[in-house]
A and B are shown apart, each in its own frame.
Chain A
Amino acid sequence: MSKTLNTVFLNDFHIKHKAKLFPFAGYSMPIYYLNGIIKEHLHVRELVGVFDVSHMGQILISNSKHNTSSLEQYVPLNLGKLEFNKSKYSFLLNVNGGIIDDIIISKIIINNNEFFFIVYNADRKTVDNKIFEKILNDYIYIHDQSLISIQGPLSYSSLSFLKIKPDMNFMQINSTNFQEQEIIISRSGYTGEDGFEISIPNIILKNFMDKLMKSTNVILCGLGSRDSLRLEAGLSLYGNELTEEITPVEAKLLWTIDKIRLEKCNFNGCKTILHQIKNGVKKIKIGIKSVTKSMLRSQMKIFDEKEKEIGFISSGGFSPSLKVSIGLGYVDINHQDNKLFCLIRDKMEKIEIVKLPFISHKYKKG
């Protein structure tokens, strides 16, 4: 029996704007519009693009002692000391240190109440929600608000056009009033560019979008270019680089973990993580580039000079900025040399290891 796809609130809006909709994580989502993925991608790098990412999970959790310590079992951050109006990139970890999901967690005040606000992956909703329901009390899933991502060097000015002046730095967050409704704005995104993600009540969303589209240089972008943008930015994607079998150490994301909590070893998987830091890991994430014109794709195998299989590609595709194929992958820790090959349709094609990110980040940092 085939499951029916969920639709986002803006579904009709996307159809009206000639979106190519495809199933993604159980949702019918715009993958690209009339301009196509490459043009949308380059537009975001140069100007500004708007993405509907309402398929993602949003939850507000009241900031209580119980909820803080419950979350800290899974999330390797000092949540008690997390400042208000700050966002952090983090994880839900399993007992083996594997990644259940990657999340953005923030602390905010809405109408004088303190909350944790978590944005998490659509694909992981069932798993994450089960955990939330098991460990938390007093929380609310946000179903009546969409999540709109505005990305690119002109994102601030396009919001100014709507009389929203989000004066904040990268990974800061605030709730503010727009047309008599409370909206949550954070300066973030997953493209490597300056940008904002806005959680906005559906009752004012169409109005918001129509106004935003009138701002100079704004175009609609789909999840296709969001993926190629995050790949160029060297950012990991759940299901590709991040899985329950991969730890933050292997994914080169150790920097996200709170050092003191790691020393105290008081969260899921901390023993594995400490062990990996001390003794090293078997596999490690790398960035790669195709030397030929062939496309690197996820699942392809990576080999050394002697044609010994030493890893796999976790994400691969075309880089519109660099005009070659790039990818992320995992290789045996002892084979981080530059003479690697990838098996592409029965041919061993040379690939190069590239320092991440492929395209440097342009976050607003004060």
Chain B
Amino acid sequence: MSERKYSKDHEWLELNDDIATVGITNHAQESLGDIVFIELPDIGRLVKFGDQIGVVESVKAASDLFSPVSGEIIEVNNELQNSPQLLNTDPENTGWYMKIKIDNTEELTNLMNFNQYKETF
């Protein structure tokens, strides 16, 4: 397990070897309000850093999900399709939304650590 990283698009990422678990931050869910739907990315899809890979819909509006790294999506959290409210109640734990096999771990240096994220937002 590595230190958690954070993107400017309000996503967190936790690395285990070259597999990263990704979710939205607590700050993100707070500003979105009640989340009622998530469109998860397709498993097997190859994505680049910053690609639009999914959508979260709150009662108010839709917001895009952007991949915080480049790699291959190997797993998604299907639990969220039936219980999107997990994104509100436990966004940084059981509310993770995808696992991605990272192409190049050096990309992680573009991301923030917790203190940097907290200071920025």
Residues in A with CB closer than 8 Å to B88 are: 36
Interface contact A37-B37, CB-CB below 8 Å: no
Please, which residues of chain B bring their CB within 8 A of the CB of A318? 34, 36-37, 57, 59
Given A38-B59, A228-B59, the answer on whether A295 and B33 have CB atoms closer than 8 Å is no
User: Cβ of A37 and Cβ of B59 under 8 Å apart?
Assistant: yes
Complex contacts, B81 vs chain A, CB 8 Å: 293
Decide: B34 and A295 in contact? CB cutoff 8 A. no
Counting CB contacts under 8 A, is B39 at the interface?
yes
Residue A156 at the B interface, CB < 8 A?
no
Q: Is the CB of A38 within 8 A of B34?
A: yes
Which residues of the partner chain B approach A228 to less than 8 Å between Cβ atoms?
A: 59
Determine which of B55, B57, B59 lies in contact with A224 in the assembled complex, contact meaning CB atoms within 8 Å: B59
Tell me the complex Cα distance, A37–B37, Å. 15
The reply on A317 being an interface residue by CB < 8 A is yes
Most interface-central of A31, A297, A317, A320 (chain B CB within 10 A): A317
Closest Cβ neighbor of B36 among chain A residues: A318
B62 within 8 A of A: yes
Q: Could you say which of A37, A294, A295 has the most chain B C-beta atoms within 10 Å of its C-beta?
A: A295
A36 and B34 contacting across the interface, CB-CB below 8 Å:
yes
Contacts of B61 on A, CB cut-off 8 Å? Answer: 297
Query: How many B residues are at the interface, by size bracket?
Result: 10 to 19
Contact among A31, A36, A37, A295 with B57 in the assembled complex (CB-CB below 8 Å): A295
Closest Cβ–Cβ distance, residue A361 to chain B (whole Å): 22
> Do B39 and A345 touch across chains, with their CB atoms under 8 A apart?
yes
Complex contact B33–A36 (CB within 8 A): yes
Is B118 positioned at the interface, with any CB of A under 8 Å from its CB?
no
B36–A224 touching, CB < 8 Å? no
Which B residues from 9 to 23 make CB contacts under 8 A with A?
Answer: none
CB distance from B57 to the nearest CB of A (A): 4
Partner of B33, one of A37, A293, A320, A345: A37
Docked pose: A317 CA to B33 CA in angstroms: 14
CB contacts under 8 Å to B, within A1-44, are: 20, 31-32, 36-38
The distance from the CB of B95 to the nearest CB of chain A, in whole angstroms, is 16
Among A20, A38, A224, residue most surrounded by chain B Cβ atoms (within 10 Å): A38
- Beyond A32-B33, A224-B33, A345-B55, is A37–B60 a contact (Cβ under 8 Å)? yes
Closest to B61 in A: A297
Contact A294 B33 (CB under 8 A): no
A-B pairs, top 7 by smallest CB distance, nearest first, are A318-B36, A295-B57, A37-B59, A38-B34, A36-B34, A318-B59, A37-B34
B interface, CB within 8 angstroms of A: 33-34, 36-37, 39, 55, 57, 59-62, 81, 88
**Supplied contacts A38-B36, A224-B33, 8 more A-B pairs, CB within 8 Å:** A36-B34, A37-B60, A38-B59, A224-B60, A294-B37, A294-B39, A318-B59, A345-B39
A-B CB contact pairs (8 Å), 20 listed = A20-B33, A31-B60, A36-B33, A36-B34, A37-B60, A38-B36, A38-B59, A224-B33, A224-B59, A224-B60, A293-B37, A294-B37, A295-B57, A295-B62, A318-B57, A318-B59, A320-B59, A325-B36, A325-B37, A345-B39
Q: Which A residues are closer than 8 A to B by beta carbons?
A: 20, 31-32, 36-38, 224, 228, 293-295, 297, 317-318, 320, 325, 345
